[in-house]
């Protein structure tokens, strides 16, 4: 089946996957965009699982302060390389998780990972991290977080 560049571009925009991965997924899905998205996501999660034995030595610390100034959060997300630590998608995800901590709170990292993401309620925080990990190809770990709130 011939897959057009427009189809590949559309899938790439939706998933952020590499061009070759998009082309293969579209061929496997016989041109069906929804099926191709599912294939790309599944392969990305499989790639993320394969990376779990790697060492994470660098990362990014993000903060979020609610506009009232009464609640704030700090999150430490670890990754394998400086290159990914500087990646804007990685940093944005970490900032989004800091917002999640400020808004929803959690007792510990395990609890936070199981929460539905406030940015994408169809995914847990853990799945958001694994999805980006699979897309980028590096192990990512939510190391720790802290939530601060002024008691009223």
- Per domain, the residue ranges of the chain are 5-51, 54-149
pLDDT of res. 136: 83
What is the distance between the alpha carbons of residues 103 and 71, in angstroms, rounded to a whole number? 8
CATH code, 54-149: 3.30.479.20
pLDDT of res. 101: 97
- Give me the CATH topology for the region 5-51: Helicase, Ruva Protein; domain 3 (1.10.8)
- pTM of the complete model: 0.71
User: Mapped to the 3 state alphabet, what secondary structure does 51-100 carry?
Assistant: HHHCCCCEEEEEEEECCCCCEEEEEEEEECCHHHHCCHHHHHHHHHHHHH
Average pLDDT across each block of 10 residues of the chain; the chain has 152 residues. List them in order: 81 73 82 81 62 77 95 96 93 97 94 95 92 86 96 76
pLDDT of res. 54: 66
């Amino acid at each position: 089946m011939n897959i057009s560049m427009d189809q590949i571009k559309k899938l790439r925009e939706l998933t952020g996957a590499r061009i070759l991965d998009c082309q293969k997924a579209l061929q496997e899905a016989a041109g069906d965009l929804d099926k191709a998205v599912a294939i790309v996501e599944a392969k990305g999660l499989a790639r993320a699982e394969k990376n779990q034995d790697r060492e994470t030595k660098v990362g990014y610390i993000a903060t979020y302060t609610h506009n009232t100034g009464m609640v704030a959060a700090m999150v430490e997300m670890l990754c394998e390389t400086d290159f990914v630590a500087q990646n804007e998608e990685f940093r944005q995800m970490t900032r989004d998780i800091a917002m999640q901590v400020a808004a929803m709170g959690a007792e510990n990292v395990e609890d936070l990972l199981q929460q539905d993401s406030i940015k994408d309620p169809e995914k847990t925080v853990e799945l958001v991290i694994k999805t980006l990990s699979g897309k980028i190809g590096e192990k990512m770990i939510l190391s720790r977080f802290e939530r601060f709130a002024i008691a009223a």
